Amino acid sequence: MLLIQNARIASENSADLLESDVLLEDGIIQSIGKNLTVPAGAKVIDAKNRILLPGMFDAHVHFREPGFEAKETIQTGTEAAINGGITGVVMMPNTSPAIDSATVVSQVLETAKRQSRIPVYTSGCVTKGRHGKELAGIDGMRALGVTMLTDDGDTIADPAVLLRAMQYATEFGMFFASHCEVPELAGPRALNEGVTSYRLGIKGSPACAEEIIIDRDIRLAHAAGAHIHIQHVSSALGMETIRWWKNRGDVKVTAEVSPHHLLFTDEDIGDYDTNYKMNPPLRTKADNEALLQGLIDGVFDLIATDHAPHTPFEKSQDFVSAPNGITGMDTALVSLYHHFVATGKFGWDLIVKRYSAEPRRLMGLPVALIEEGKPVDLILFDPDAETTFTTDFMKSKSRNTPFINQTLKGRVDLVVLGENILLERQTS
């Protein structure tokens, strides 16, 4: 039994924070109200000035298992999630072997059942081996609960293949998530084409390489009557393309934005810092500002980290050779608070809606709610504290993030899921 006193409760439906006590027992929120009586034997936490939120949910993570466990495992990845206040995740299928059949899905889910303290869901490939040629074992994956199909990491080059997959799988209630780029235009995919790429002497990837496929894949979904989800949008025009299609109202399209595409630009790369190398690449300040407004306007349905761990050896290579990707789960919530909530750009209601509620809705899951009678799935956040992202603090197996050794405002103090306290920081 746990009584959280004087918490300020955040909701997706209101910018106001309701101060209240919350009593948790047997994995259920038993009571919410002012000055609740302390039950005998209850653990009490005074949450004065702290924010009580539903657990976050990340619908785009790379855990690298099976096949690339040196980068991350399901166990280390989910511990990083908990460290950042995330209580559910969706894995991407670009593993080895790729998650393209019921056999591999079963293996992943069994591993997660043994090793993870939070729910782990997985997407499945659209095509076998993510080769873009032959449809994956879609029906077998669906029977194991897979709803999202994607060849994330690559675009399906042949539109006829994607259209056929959409026509087939939509009947089963599945949807498609698209990594959008024209490889012939994107080139080495090292960084955005512009002033920084010219300065560094590296061929850049133009935004149109992404924008062309955003429009193509939405058009294919329109033709097939499918639901299309556009992943990690990085450009202003790409976002406006999504807005235009949404305004038409005759195709189901959702989209996500990643924290790094809101926070960083290609100028941050400096002298070839590979922690800022990702795909799609960081673009310009004007793009960032447009994406932020798109998030506030609701063009983006959700925030997702695209958590992409790599070993120090891999990231220590030259800029063109180093792999794309940034870790994000340890850092996402604190960085969003520090840069946007604390500065008044948006409120806690947007965080709850876009990083907790809508990702769960996308996956057809119940939304985590802080209401009487609901299952316990919540976190406690201290806006007056600070977090320093040292290597000791990080739980991800990899450390490829620009936030290493940075100190930001805010701290995740408590994570509770069901009857279990998954994280409780020692505070003073």
In the CATH hierarchy, which fold is given to the domain comprising 2-52+372-389+401-424? Urease, subunit C; domain 1 (2.30.40)
Q: Residue 183: pLDDT band by 50, 70, 90 thresholds?
A: very high
Contact between 101 and 109 under an 8 Å Cβ cutoff? The reply is no
Tell me whether residue 306 is one of the annotated catalytic residues: yes
As a whole number, mean pLDDT of residues 152-170 equals 97
Q: How many CA atoms are closer than 13 Å to the CA of 377, on its beta-carbon side?
A: 21
- State residue 129's pLDDT score: 97
Distance CA(356)–CA(372), nearest Å, equals 18
The CATH number of the domain covering residues in 55-362: 3.20.20.140
Mean of per-residue pLDDT scores for the chain: 97
Contact between 318 and 200 under an 8 Å Cβ cutoff? The reply is no
* pTM of the complete model: 0.97
Tens-digit pLDDT profile for residues 10-59: 999 999 999 999 999 999 999 999 999 999 999 999 999 999 999 999 99
CB-based burial label for 105 (10 Å; 0-12, 13-18, 19+): buried
Flag whether pLDDT at 188 surpasses 90.
Answer: no
As a whole number, mean pLDDT of residues 148-155 equals 96
Q: Where in the chain is the domain with CATH 3.20.20.140?
A: 55-362
Distance CA(334)–CA(328), nearest Å, equals 10
Specify the DSSP class assigned to residue 420: E
As a whole number, mean pLDDT of residues 202-222 equals 97
Q: Token pair for residue 143? A: 């029977």
As a whole number, mean pLDDT of residues 414-428 equals 92
Angle value at C-alpha 56, between 241 and 76, nearest 5 degrees: 105
Q: Residue 394: pLDDT band by 50, 70, 90 thresholds?
A: very high
- State residue 66's pLDDT score: 97
- Give the closest residue to 292 by CA, choosing from 281, 279, 282, 303: 303
- In the set 152, 306, 330, 377, the catalytic residue is 306
- State residue 428's pLDDT score: 52
As a whole number, mean pLDDT of residues 304-321 equals 96
As a whole number, mean pLDDT of residues 245-274 equals 97
Q: Where in the chain is the domain with CATH 2.30.40.10?
A: 2-52+372-389+401-424
CB-based burial label for 34 (10 Å; 0-12, 13-18, 19+): exposed
Distance CA(91)–CA(99), nearest Å, equals 10
